[in-house]
């Protein structure tokens, strides 16, 4: 059940959502309440909401008079709607995960059809804040107040999140090098050899946007061990140093500086450890809105669009606040111009390397196009209690974040393995949509995630597939119409039977989804007997499957050849 005041609030104020005598002064906080629409709102059973009838002409007239509610209704109309319009507005329950959990939603029905669905919010200092749960987005993401709030989220996560307090990053060795951020103007590179493993460090996830002018090489590493002059650093690096210090941390890991970029030996050694570097970090700072290192990510964000309506507070003082209505869906479809940039459309989420960096991070501060988000195993939330649609943000199963010993000592059930496999393929589908600057990095950039799943699933990794479920894993296909073209690379990437053999930006990958996946989506997990029975229903036999690794020391890395032989029935197509 939503906020206890919601039903009473609704009945007290919808008659206020009317039109004014003339154009609205943009400086006014809300509509002139002395000239409201004389609508006859009828209160029916709670499920019926609040209804009234109007006409297209009245709505058009309201638009000319800058009626904000008319703008809402007009956006929901279809060309096929008759002249007479029946409108129902009701509180709407939403089943997908979001934060705050009890965010209030409104649905607008026209002539019996749901046309608009959105959430409502207000600001902390508004009289309506006592009755409306969600708040406006934080726009000054780099301010001391916002970064202090981020620090508070991190401490709260460590102390109160049951799913997060069991994470054990201290079991991982420190990165070979870190940046010491103690001096705001003169950072320096340090070697962690022989250092105590309790160091807490932040890691940066960002898009390079091309080669970087300032990076660690064999010729300057000695100088960087003494000093990294901040005057020479690009905005994204400077912003990361600022955030690290604001969080009370001394050390920061950045690939461009903590890996010797012109040493193939050092790059191979460090890239193999990339997954553990992010997994062992205290927090990952994600420059999600920046397309390149020269852009930075701490600049103030632009305000998003919403519809502002007056809100009569149901108290004895008769105060009037502001309610912001933010539509998410129109006519059963996602809005063509959503108020906030969808998570999957953030610039960093086009880069292949950055998916692993996100998934392997126990905690992350995600600087999005619109605000600052906090991500962990327990929650995904916009800072400041702003609404966050978190259902699309995929996280790794908790078991994969436990220490190496715990993960390998606990035998997962068949049910847990199949659930893990389902998550794996969902992640692989996301990864297929991303690009790597160097095509041959396709396996390497995903190797840390594959390593974690391999230890959990207890099976061999075979060029993006799993040996124990190879028959099912071969049932992949490429989607058409996903905004990109899949093609064979001129460079060998993987065997033809692996999805990784194809490359292309926004390449859509699909799997034939087993029945138990749909059950899990409904919250009903299959039992082990069901899984075991399904596993025996196969008319395909794998005779042999072998691959040759480019580097035998890295079983989740690049491959140079692969052979697959199957025995199966042949069925006519017609």
Residue by residue, DSSP assigns 382-417 as ETTSB-EE-TT-----GGGGS-HHHHHHS---HHHH
What is the sign of the dihedral through the CA atoms of 86, 89, 93 and 97? positive
pLDDT class of 48 with cuts at 50, 70, 90 = low
Same domain, residue pair 149 and 267:
yes
pLDDT score recorded for residue 188: 95
Asked whether residue 425 falls in the same domain as residue 477, the answer is: yes
Is pLDDT at 229 greater than 70 in this prediction?
yes
pLDDT band at 491 (very low <50, low <70, confident <90, very high): confident
Measured between alpha carbons, how far is 233 from 216 in angstroms, rounded to an integer?
Answer: 12
Q: Which of 90-104, 431-445, 472-486 has the highest mean pLDDT?
A: 431-445
The answer to whether residues 82 and 111 belong to one domain is yes
Tell me: do 13 and 130 sit in the same domain: yes
User: Exposed, middle or buried, 105 (CB in 10 Å: 0-12/13-18/19+)?
Assistant: buried
Indicate whether 339 belongs to any domain.
Answer: no
Q: Do the beta carbons of residue 307 and residue 324 sit within 8 Å?
A: yes
Residues 323 and 253 in one domain: no
Whether 497 and 384 share a structural domain: no
In angstroms, rounded to a whole number, what is the distance separating the alpha carbons of residues 88 and 113?
A: 9
Q: Does the residue 530 lie in any domain?
A: yes
**What is residue 424's predicted lDDT score, i.e. its pLDDT?**
92
One domain, residues 248 and 167: yes
* Domain-located, residue 340: no
Q: Are residues 488 and 560 in the same domain?
A: yes
Place of tokens 């019926």: 48
Give the torsion through C-alpha atoms of 385, 391, 392, 396, to 10 deg: 100
416 and 524 together in one domain: yes
d(C-alpha 130, C-alpha 372), whole Å: 24
pLDDT tens for each residue of 406-455: 455 567 777 888 888 889 998 998 898 888 888 888 899 999 999 999 98
- Asked which of 340, 370, 394 is the last residue of a domain, the reply is 394
Residue written as tokens 């943000």?
A: 393
Distance CA 533, CA 252 (A): 50
Q: What is the pTM of this model?
A: 0.84
Alpha-carbon span 500 to 421, nearest angstrom:
17
**Average pLDDT, integer, range 100-124:** 88
Same domain, yes or no, for 171 and 242?
Answer: yes
Section 320-333 average pLDDT: 79
Interval 108-127 mean pLDDT: 90
Q: Both tokens of residue 280?
A: 């062992």
pLDDT the model gives residue 386 = 94
Q: What does the pLDDT read at residue 36?
A: 29
**Domain containing 321: what range?**
6-134+310-329
Q: Is 335 contained in some domain?
A: no
- Do residues 66 and 16 both lie within one domain? yes
Name residue 110's beta-bridge partners: 87, 113
> In what helix (H) or strand (E) does residue 164 lie, and over which residues does it extend?
helix 162-165
Q: Are residues 123 and 157 in the same domain?
A: no
Total domain count, the chain: 3
Token pair for 400: 């994969």
Has residue 338 been placed in a domain? no
- The Cα–Cα gap between 266 and 223 comes to 18
pLDDT band (50, 70, 90) for residue 563 = very high
């Amino acid at each position: 059940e939503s906020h206890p005041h919601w039903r009473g609030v609704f009945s007290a104020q919808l008659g206020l959502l009317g039109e004014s005598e003339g154009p609205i002064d943009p400086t006014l906080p809300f509509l002139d309440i002395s000239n409201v629409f004389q609508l006859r709102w009828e209160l029916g059973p709670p499920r019926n909401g609040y209804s009234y009838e109007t006409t297209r002409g009245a709505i058009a007239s309201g638009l000319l008079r800058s009626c904000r509610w008319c703008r809402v209704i007009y956006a929901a109309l279809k060309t096929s709607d008759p002249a007479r319009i029946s409108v129902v507005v009701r509180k709407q329950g939403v089943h997908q995960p979001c934060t705050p959990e009890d965010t209030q939603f409104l649905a607008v029905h026209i002539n019996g059809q749901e046309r608009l669905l959105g959430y409502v919010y207000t600001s902390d200092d508004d009289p309506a804040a006592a009755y409306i749960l969600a708040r406006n987005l934080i726009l000054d993401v780099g301010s001391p107040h916002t970064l202090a709030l981020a620090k508070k989220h991190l401490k709260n996560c460590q102390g109160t999140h049951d799913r997060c307090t069991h994470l054990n990053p201290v079991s991982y060795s420190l990165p070979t090098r870190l940046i010491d951020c103690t001096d705001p103007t003169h950072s320096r590179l340090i070697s962690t050899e022989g250092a105590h493993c309790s160091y807490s460090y932040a890691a940066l996830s960002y898009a390079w946007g091309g080669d970087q002018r300032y990076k660690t090489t064999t010729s300057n590493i000695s100088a960087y061990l003494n000093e990294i002059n901040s005057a020479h650093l690009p905005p994204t690096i400077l912003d990361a140093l600022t955030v690290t210090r604001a969080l009370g941390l001394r050390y920061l890991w950045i690939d461009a500086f903590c890996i010797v970029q012109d040493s193939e030996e050092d790059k191979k050694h460090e890239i193999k450890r990339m997954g553990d570097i992010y997994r062992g970090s205290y927090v990952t700072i994600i420059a999600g809105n920046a397309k390149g290192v020269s852009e930075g990510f701490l600049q103030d964000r632009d305000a998003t669009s919403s519809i502002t309506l007056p809100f009569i507070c149901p108290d004895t003082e008769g105060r009037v606040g502001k309610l912001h209505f933010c539509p998410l869906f129109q006519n059963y479809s996602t809005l063509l111009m959503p108020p906030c940039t969808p998570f999957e459309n953030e610039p960093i989420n086009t880069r292949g390397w950055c998916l692993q960096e996100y998934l392997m991070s126990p905690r992350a501060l995600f600087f999005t196009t619109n605000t600052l988000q906090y991500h962990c195993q327990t929650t995904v939330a916009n800072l400041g209690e702003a609404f966050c649609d978190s259902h699309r943000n995929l996280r790794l199963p908790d078991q994969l974040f436990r220490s190496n010993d715990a993960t390998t000592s606990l035998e997962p059930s068949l049910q847990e393995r199949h659930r893990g496999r389902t998550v794996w393929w969902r992640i692989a589908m996301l990864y297929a949509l991303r690009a790597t600057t160097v095509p041959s990095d396709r396996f390497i950039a995903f190797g840390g995630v594959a390593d974690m799943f391999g230890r959990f699933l207890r099976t061999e990794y075979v060029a993006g597939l799993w040996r124990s479920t190879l028959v099912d894993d071969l049932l992949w296909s490429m989607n058409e119409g996903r905004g990109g073209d899949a093609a064979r690379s001129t460079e060998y990437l993987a065997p033809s039977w692996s999805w990784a053999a194809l490359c292309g930006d926004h390449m859509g990958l699909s799997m034939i989804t087993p029945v138990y996946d749909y059950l899990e989506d409904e919250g009903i997990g299959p039992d082990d007997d069901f899984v075991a029975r399904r596993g025996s229903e196969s008319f395909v036999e794998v005779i042999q499957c072998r691959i040759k690794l480019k580097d035998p020391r890295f079983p989740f890395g690049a491959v140079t050849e692969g052979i697959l032989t199957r025995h199966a029935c042949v069925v006519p197509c017609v």
